[in-house]
Amino acid sequence: MSEAAGGAGEQTVEELVADVFRRACASREALEHVTGKWSLLALSALAESPHRFGELRRRIEGVSERMLAQSLQTLERDGWVHREVRSAIPPHVEYRLTEDGAALVPHLLGLISFVEARMPAVQAARASADEVRRPR
């Protein structure tokens, strides 16, 4: 990511297609796809093992059928997830990470673990921020 990530100052061809700070950059869209509310959780669930649609739906509390299907389609289209239909009636569809997906997921899991570990600090920060705004 040009400066922010690499620190390298030189302008490369890469930057034209891979600078998230740029409005119309494809990488920004791709990033949003994987960090989406439900996509993030779906990828995390698939990190454990392949899952069927219904399994994912039950695993990810609060996701609707519609949003899960939509998220999985986007992830499949971007090449992070593979969708495999095993039979037609009744349908048996299994989702699994692609190689790219398997390489991506550790980054997401690391982020999730970090945030979960810092939750006490986050809640403390919120409490003190709210206290200032609403001084009883």
Pairing of strands 51-52, 81-87: unpaired
Cα dihedral: 67, 33, 44, 102 (round 10): 130
Q: Does 106 bind DNA (CB under 7 A)?
A: no
Q: Please choose which of its own copies, DNA, none residue 100 contacts, taking the beta carbon within 5 to 8 angstroms, the exact cut-off set by kind.
A: its own copies
Q: Does 73 bind DNA (CB under 7 A)?
A: yes
Please, what is the minimum distance in Å from the beta carbon of residue 134 to DNA? 14
With CB under 8 A as the contact rule, the residue among 13, 85, 89, 119 that binds its own copies is 119
Judge residue 102's burial from the number of C-beta atoms within 10 Å of its C-beta, 0-12 exposed, 13-18 middle, 19 or more buried: middle
Angle (CA) 77 115 35, round 5°: 15
Q: Which H or E run contains 59?
A: helix 53-59
- Binding part of the chain for DNA, among 6-14, 34-42, 106-114, 121-129 by CB under 7 A, reads 34-42
Q: Which residues would be at the binding site for its own copies (CB under 8 A)? A: 1, 3-6, 14, 17-23, 26-27, 30-32, 34-35, 37, 40-41, 44-45, 47-48, 59-62, 76-79, 100, 103-104, 107-119, 121-126, 129-130
